[in-house]
């Protein structure tokens, strides 16, 4: 297939997926209940616009995960050395997550002001906290590398 045709098809696909997402958002925005009555909120929650938006989001997530796995396997076959380095980065992030998880958290449902009917277990709170700390550490390290990376390269030589 020609490169220009492939780019055109991918652009049309991207625009179409974004347009569907915008339509789902507008359906939710237009059909959202204006009152705080429980029956209005329940009918909105069980309605077709919310169902479409949730189904579309699930489709995009699963399609994205599937494409990531396909490209990962392709990269593993064609460019093994760089892909193994990427896997080492994922393993490092997993180890950081496990360290934060084992450290634990002092958060409780009461401290976070979670409603009693929405309480979660302490393990869930520990996992969420460990995940947030892992992401924040990754963002801070990435930010510092973006700032100091060029200087570090000059000093290595």
Bigger pLDDT: 92 vs 126: 92
The number of CA neighbours under 13 Å toward the Cβ of 139 is 6
CA 21 to chain centre: 16
Q: Six-digit token pair at 69? A: 């796995």
User: The domain containing residue 97 runs over which residues?
Assistant: 80-157
Evaluated on CA atoms 46, 48, 50, 51, the torsion sign reads: positive
- On average, the pLDDT of the chain sits at 84
Q: Is the pLDDT of residue 133 over 70?
A: yes
Q: How many domains does the chain have?
A: 2
Q: Six-digit token pair at 15? A: 């625009």
Are 85 and 157 in the same domain?
Answer: yes
Q: Six-digit token pair at 19? A: 């347009």
Q: What gap in Å lies between CA 45 and CA 72, rounded to an integer?
A: 37
Are 51 and 115 in the same domain?
Answer: no
Are 74 and 85 in the same domain?
Answer: no
Are 67 and 85 in the same domain?
Answer: no
Are 123 and 138 in the same domain?
Answer: yes
pLDDT at 157: 57
Burial of 142 (0-12, 13-18, 19+ CB in 10 A): exposed
Q: What gap in Å lies between CA 39 and CA 34, rounded to an integer?
A: 12
Are 114 and 152 in the same domain?
Answer: yes
Question: pLDDT tens across 31-74, in order?
Answer: 777 777 777 777 777 778 788 888 888 898 899 899 888 888 88
Question: What is the pTM for the complete model shown?
Answer: 0.56
């Amino acid at each position: 297939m020609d490169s220009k045709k492939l780019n055109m098809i991918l652009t049309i696909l991207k625009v179409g997926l974004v347009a569907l997402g915008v339509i789902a958002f507008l359906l939710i925005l237009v059909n959202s209940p204006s009152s705080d009555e429980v029956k209005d909120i329940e009918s909105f929650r069980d309605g077709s616009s919310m169902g479409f938006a949730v189904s579309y989001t699930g489709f995009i997530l699963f399609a994205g995960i599937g494409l990531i796995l396909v490209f990962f396997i392709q990269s593993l076959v064609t460019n093994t050395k760089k892909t193994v380095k990427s896997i080492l980065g994922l393993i490092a992030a997993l180890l950081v997550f496990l360290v934060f998880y084992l450290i634990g958290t002092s958060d409780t449902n009461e401290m976070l002001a979670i409603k009693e009917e929405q309480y979660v277990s302490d393990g869930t709170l520990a996992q969420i906290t460990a995940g947030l700390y892992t992401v924040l550490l990754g963002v801070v390290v990435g930010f510092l590398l973006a700032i100091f990376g060029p200087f570090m390269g000059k000093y290595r030589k």
